[in-house]
Structures are given as structure tokens and as C-alpha cells.
Amino acid sequence: DTIHSTAEQFGAKNRWGPEQSQTGVRRLALSDLDKGVKDWFVKETKSLGCTVKIDEVGNIFATYPGRNNDAKPTGMGSHLDTQPTGGRYDGIFGVLSGLQVLRTLKANNYVPNYPITLVDWCNEEGARFAMSIMASSVWAGISTKEHVYALKDVYDNKTTVLEELNRIGYKGTEKCSHMANPLKCHFEIHIEQGPILEKIGKKIGVLTSAQAYTWIEVTFKGMPQHTGTTPMDYRRDSLLATGKVITGINDIAKKYGGVATVGKLSLSPNVVNVIPGEVNFVVDIRHEEDEGLHKMYKAVRELLAEVILNKAGNGVPLEADIEDPYPTPAAIFNSELVDLIDESAKSVVGEEYAHRMISGAGHDSCATNTVIPTAMIFVPSKNGISHNPEEYTKPEELEDGFRVLLETVLRYDES
């Protein structure tokens, strides 16, 4: 219910069915809607007796007190921002499950041994400010606040993260650092965003790791000529070159057992009877292992080189710019926490419904995992659809997930 009431209030969008719950959510990081849901989160957690700290990059830490408040808190977290055409669950379910854990403690007057902190990590999606897992990366020390403050809104190419943090009042005073503001561990529950649990009939995914991935941005520059008057052999067709990359990376993914996609692409002049002069696109490649990603990466670079220097331009070489960011390494989650989740999952849904798997997507937990013990729980996604208004997980599946999170946190607190 909380999922749907926050969706209603803070950004419901893109109806896909007649039911009240059948819309997606568009709640871009640091927008007014993001401020709205952050204010609500602060109010809710305070009403449960939490102490709330906001750090300088917009992360919110709501700490439920335990017996031993000098110890580092047990952490739970995820994110409340969404994709522009996002669903109601991605990230949001993780934060609201954590909130439900705190509500359950409160309702039962249960005092944990150690404090429990629920975190709303700021800008996980990277949809408005193009860096995913943004503020958790700063907290983990794998990025800097200076870097992220300067990121610009992709829609107006002007407004910065710093301006928006100030504008919505979420540039907090707490240092954004796992050293200054530590957690003992981090548990995150999330929708799978893929089809596997549903297909194999499992209820809970126990994550052992998350894939390594990287995004290679390519701009091909050819010659914008007339489609009717330019014989095939005289062309430098940037979109033909791109077509060869799109089909080629599919073969590479299959060969190396990873995944590869072009999801973003634009061309100019984008006119029916003009050969595309310039195409800009991003190749997203992922693999379970860093080594596998590296092999895929090398194969993609070889494919790009071949397309640029040779056949794709129909004889004449193309020019290209390739932006080559540092890859996100695979996250291997802490095996003790993984086992703890596994036990909790088996006790909640039964041995036959818990399934060890890897995460295809990156999550805030990939950042926290670089500095503290971290592990994750998945619930199924209907048809594997995510980043889409039709994202859906059944209430009973959400309930199972919440109970696994609760049990995991309580077992951890006891251990």
C-alpha cells in the first residue's frame, strides 16, 4: 500500500491499465517530486523515532535506535528516484521494505541490539544527471562530491546537481563518506528487473554478485549525402556502420556469455533521403566476471576498429570518437551475508523457492560492497520488465521479500 500511495503522490505517470496501481512513475532525481518524496521519507522515519541525517550529496540516513547506539548501525537501503518512464518498484520497493521493517519493530516495541539505518541513496538511476549509483559512489569513496556536483541535467544541459541540491534543500551538513558516517553492513532488496525468477518459478533471489559492466559511447562521422544520387561505393554511411556494430555486439555477447545492447542512439540529419552523416550511440556490455567483461570489451573495440577502417563505410573509412570510461567491476557480495540471506529466504519461502543468482543490473549495493559487507535480495519481476511503466511484482511476492529482509536484519542484529 505504501508503494502505491507514494507513487500516487509523487510522480505517477504513464497509465498502462485501468487499476489505480497501473501507472508507472516519473520521479527524476532532485526534481520537485524527488523533494516531495524525500520530505515524506524524513517525516515518516522521524515519526517512528528515527534520527535523520542528510549528507552533502543528498543521501538520507534514518537511524532507528538500538540498545547499543555507539556501535555502527546495520544498514538497509535503496533509492526513491526513477527512470523517466520508470515503474513503481525499481528502488522504491527497497526503501519502502526497509521502512516496513522499522514500522514492524516499532509496532512490536522491539528494541534491536544495534541501531538500524535505512538509507535513501540519491540519484541511483542516473537518468537526469547521467551517472548511475551516484551518491552511494561518493559515500563509498569511489567518486568525489566535486565530480558529481558538476554533473548537468541531460534535459537542459545546464542545471547542476549542486544547484538542485541547494534548491530543494537536500544539500545536508553530514559528510558524504563511509568513514565519517559509517554503516556496519548494507542489505538491499530490489526487484529482479529480469525474467529469471518468474521463468524458473522461484520467489526469492539470493544474490551472490552483480555483473561487471561498462558503457562505451561512440560517435561515427561519415558524409551526409543524398540517398538517391550517391552510388553504394561512394558512401560513408554512419548508420550502416552502426548497424554492423549493433548486430556484431549481439554475436560478441553470445560468444562470451555476457549481454550487449545499444539502447541509446541519435543520428543527424535524420532525414529520409539523406545518408546519415553522424550517429551517436552507447554500447552497454556486461559480464558476470571482470575477465569476461574485459574480453567482450576487447572484441567490441576490434569490431569498432574494423567497422571504422574498412567495410562499413562501403569502401571509405569513417571517422569516430570513442569515449571509454572506466568499467564498473563485478561486485562479489560478502559470503557470510549471502548465507544469512539464504537461510532467511529458506525459512520464509521454503528451500525450493529460494534461488542463488547474480544481479544483471548495477545497484547502490555495488558501491557499498567496495567498503562494507553487502548483500542483496531479489523478488520476481513480471515478464522481466523494468524501466517501464508496466514494471510489476505481485503484492504477495513483495510481502515475501519484505519478510526475508526483516528476518535477515533481525538475524544479523542477533549475531
Ligand X SMILES: NC(=O)NCCC(=O)O
Cα 394 to Cα 344, 379, 412: the distances in Å are: 20, 9, 27
Which three cell numbers, joined as nine digits, stand for 18?
485501468
Residues 268-307 that bind ligand X (CB under 6 A): 273
- Binding its own copies by CB under 8 A: which of 7, 50, 54, 127? 127
Nearest-angstrom CA–CA distance, 44 and 10? 15
Between residue 225 and residue 264, which ones bind ligand X under the rule CB under 6 A? 228
Residue 89 is placed in which grid cell?
518498484
In 72-124 the beta strands, taken as DSSP E runs, fall at 74-78, 116-120
Report how far residue 258's alpha carbon sits from residue 23's, in angstroms, rounded to the nearest whole number: 32
Q: Among its own copies, ligand X, none, what does residue 182 contact (CB within 5–8 Å per kind)?
A: none
Tell me how many residues contact its own copies (CB under 8 A): 69
Question: Site for its own copies (CB under 8 A): which residue of 78, 100, 132, 365?
Answer: 132
Of the residues 361, 367, 398, 404, which one makes contact with ligand X according to CB under 6 A: 361
The CA-based angle 100-102-104, given to 5 degrees, is 70
For the chain, state the CA radius of gyration: 23
As measured in angstroms, the least distance from the Cβ of 191 to its own copies is 9
Site map 31..70 versus its own copies, x via CB under 8 A: ----------------------------------------
Cβ contacts of residue 182 below 8 Å, gap of 6+?
72, 372
For its own copies, which stretch binds (CB under 8 A), given 54-62, 66-74, 274-282, 407-415? 274-282
Question: How far apart (Å, rounded) are the C-alpha atoms in residues 279 and 289?
Answer: 30
First to last CA, the chain: 32
Amino acid type, 66:
G
Binding at 267: pick from its own copies, ligand X, none (beta carbon under 5-8 Å per type): its own copies
User: Which stretch in 36-44, 156-164, 234-242, 332-340 sits in contact with its own copies by CB under 8 A?
Assistant: 234-242
Least distance (Å) between residue 228 CB and ligand X: 4
Pick what 242 binds: its own copies, ligand X, none; C-beta below 5 to 8 Å, kind-dependent.
its own copies
List the x/- string, 73-112, binding to ligand X by CB under 6 A: ----------------------------------------
**282 touches its own copies (CB under 8 A):** yes
From residue 265, alpha-carbon distances to 218, 224, 271, 279 in Å are 9, 17, 15, 7
- Whether the CA torsion 362, 214, 368, 172 is positive or negative: it is negative
* Site residues (vs ligand X, CB under 6 A): 132, 228, 273, 361-363
By CB under 8 A, name the binding residues for its own copies.
83-85, 127, 132, 192-196, 199, 211, 213, 215, 223-232, 234, 237, 239-240, 242-247, 250, 253-254, 259, 261-267, 269-277, 282, 284, 286, 314, 359-362, 381, 383-388
